[in-house]
Amino acid sequence: MPDDETTLLEVGGLTKTFEVAAGASGRTALRALDGVDLTLGRGETLGLVGESGCGKSTLARVLLLLERPDGGHVRFSGVDPFTLRGKDLLAWRRRVQMVFQDPFASLNPRLNAAELIGEPWRTHRDLVPAGKRAARVRELLELVGLRAADAGRYPQEFSGGQRQRIGIARALALEPDVIVCDEPVSALDLSVQAQVLNLLGDLQAELGVSYLFISHDLTVVRHIADRVAVMYLGRVVESGPTEEVFGSPAHPYTAALLSAAPSLDAVREGGRERIVLTGEVPSPVDPPSGCRFRTRCWLAEDRCAQVAPVAEARPGEPAHHAACHLPLEPVVAGAPR
Amino acid sequence: MTATMEVDGLSVDIRTPGGTIRAVRGMSFAVHSGQTLALLGESGCGKSMTAHAVAGLLGPVADVAGGEVRLDGVDVLRLDPAARRRLAGPGLAIVFQDALTALNPVYPVGTQLAEPFRIHEKLSRRAARAKAVELMERVGIPEPRSRAGAYPHQFSGGMRQRLLIAMAVALRPAVLLADEPTTALDVTVQAQIMELLAELRAEQRMALVLITHDLAVVAEQADHVAVMYAGSVVETGPVAEVFRAPRHPYTRGLLDSVPSGAERGGRLRSIEGSPPELASLPAGCAFRERCPLARERCATERPPLVETGTGRASSCHYWKELADA
């Protein structure tokens, strides 16, 4: 976990409830975030994993100030961005940017590459002087592995991987400290996905930018993330350094998720015992009492229904937290999975 | 062993305003009962188009331009439409990727599941309904009797995919085509659906053709794999052998692109460039512009799929270099 010096972003006890229609009976509350704690260090990649409906996109939207949380706090370099107004708010927005999932839907087809990349400067006018913008666009294009000559081409003239590079260049145009990447490679073909992952790694090494990397693909997260947080029904159930969490999960849900994900490594290593969970994720409108995962957990006991477990560090792994009454024992290195 | 289904030199043309595009260019593969063949490839490689051609479901702008699809020795492409329709269900069935659009939103699921029994087996409404409930139970839908009256939108994504699978296996098909059956689903549900398909395959001795872009799914689920690139098979063979020692540079490139736990954070070896446009395929080998082994011969001579060992084939002029390396 990053210490005070290097912490860029800190989130504590974050809650967010939406009102949703509940058929003829009126409206009901959907608690999308239910006490989320996270930290993100400078130059670090935090992987955020979980199944659909777990709250990962809501969390990203709160961090981008697109949603106001009901409770808890967000601190960015020690400042609560929700208290900012006017110029200060504008300056803050520049520092957190986003790369979207679908490069076919997220780029305006009527703007060419140069206009797409330079568009953010129309809002943040002081960042790059008008006379230097064309040169800066060319630099950014080359930085993301496109050619300066591509500046005049339109999105539909690029392949999916090239479009995602434009999306990344556009995010970088504002020189952000954090880029929220929401499933940035899931729409791309495997061979192209590897190119984009390499690019994200190179850019981080060069620019020191932090990534919040949201993905359902555990193989990709394991490759790119320094630390990882696993969400289930609005709560972070486990977090810690990627190798500690993925190598030896403490929360049964993480173990099940890892075991369910198809993996070439596992086949190469001669197979494994698979945990196939019964049922599906319960509706966030009517979540189970106590531990949210207990309805699908093979270890659950009475107290799991009564008391919601709080995140605790695993003995010997101070940065590795899990919210479970019955955490799994650490896997001994070298033992069969 | 004789194949349950053999696809031989299948080609499919798509008519576009800009001219005719050959989307499937001489596909050949075979699948045996009780086994799983994976058609593996990236988007636009023609894998779904192949499945639709085999199932007789090509849209109005696509036509089969050549080749044969033999089901127990009979070429189904030559059958008249009525005979072909009789095969849909007991002969060949298909599970689509998007279960919500594949189910009819205005009929209860029980009615839709009963349809194959009403049409093919001429069962009474009541008997067909009973069969439908039985099927729902088999594919793991809780409280099937009361849920049979519910509509598709009242089911979750995973449950809808179970319904679609139930409908496809209702008449115990000889061959089941599954077109990306789990891509729209969450990981834990994906595992449940793959397990269900594997059980049904074993139970009914079906031949399963699994269409996917996911190498890990292939490694875990399939016996044989046919790797596709730009509308044709570039390599085929038993999964374990192909993945351990690929004999086509494209297969090798794909395997190298998968992040491995062993080399976390390092650079991935990707394949340069992106897949070619089908409308403007390069002459010779379609992969040559991205291929590290390419030389002059590849630009002029399209490599045929040649046998490289027992049950294995590759369409690379220089496969021996990969095999020896």
Q: Which of A164, A190, A193, A280 to mutate to test the interface with B (most CBs of B within 10 A)?
A: A190
Give the B window 144-203 contacts with A, CB below 8 Å.
156, 158-159, 186-192, 195
Chain B residue numbers touching A241 (CB-CB < 8 A): none
- C-alpha B138/C-alpha A241 separation (Å) is 42
Among candidate residues B116, B137, B170, the one where a domain is terminated: B170
B42: nearest CB among A190, A263, A277: A190
Question: How far apart are the CA of A115 and the nearest CA of chain B, in angstroms?
Answer: 24
Do B319 and B175 belong together in one domain?
A: yes
CATH number at residue B298: 3.40.50.300
The verdict on residue B265 lying in a domain is no
The verdict on residue B15 lying in a domain is yes
Do B20 and B151 belong together in one domain?
A: no
Chain A residue numbers touching B256 (CB-CB < 8 A): 194
Chain A residue numbers touching B159 (CB-CB < 8 A): 280
Please, what is the average pLDDT of chain B? 92
Do B83 and B135 belong together in one domain?
A: no
B217 vs A: CB within 8 A: yes
B260 vs A: CB within 8 A: yes
- The 10s digit of each residue's pLDDT in B232-244 is 999 999 999 999 9
- The 10s digit of each residue's pLDDT in B178-188 is 999 988 788 88
Cβ–Cβ gap B268/A223 under 8 Å: yes
B253: nearest CB among A191, A197, A265: A191
The verdict on residue B281 lying in a domain is yes
Full DSSP string of A245-260: HHHS-SSHHHHHHHHH
- The 10s digit of each residue's pLDDT in A25-77 is 677 888 999 999 999 999 999 999 998 888 998 999 999 999 999 999 999 98
What is the number of structural domains in chain B?
2
The verdict on residue B266 lying in a domain is no
User: In this structure, are residues A165 and B243 in contact, taking their beta carbons and an 8 Å threshold?
Assistant: no
Over the range A178-207, which residues count as b (16 or more CB within 10 Å of their CB) and which as e? bbbbbbbbebbbbbbbbbbbbbbbebbeee
ipTM above 0.90, yes or no: no
Please give the residue range of the domain that contains residue B154.
Answer: 98-170
Among candidate residues B111, B143, B170, the one where a domain is terminated: B170
The verdict on residue B140 lying in a domain is yes
Do B233 and B314 belong together in one domain?
A: yes
- The 10s digit of each residue's pLDDT in A66-116 is 999 999 999 998 899 999 999 999 999 999 999 988 888 899 999 999 999
Element (H, E) at A26: none
pLDDT of residue A337: 43
Do B145 and B188 belong together in one domain?
A: no
A277: nearest CB among B188, B268, B275: B188
Do B111 and B219 belong together in one domain?
A: no
Do B216 and B151 belong together in one domain?
A: no
Cβ–Cβ gap A256/B268 under 8 Å: no
Do B109 and B180 belong together in one domain?
A: no
* Mean pLDDT of the region B292-313: 94
Do B46 and B150 belong together in one domain?
A: no
The verdict on residue B41 lying in a domain is yes
Do B148 and B223 belong together in one domain?
A: no
Question: How far apart are the CA of B66 and the nearest CA of chain A, in angstroms?
Answer: 29
User: In this structure, are residues B91 and B76 in contact, taking their beta carbons and an 8 Å threshold?
Assistant: yes
Among candidate residues B170, B199, B222, the one where a domain is terminated: B170
Do B113 and B84 belong together in one domain?
A: no
Do B51 and B40 belong together in one domain?
A: yes
Query: Please, which residues have CB within 8 angstroms of residue A283's CB and are 6 or more apart in sequence?
Result: A53
Query: In which residue are the tokens 């009962």 written?
Result: B33
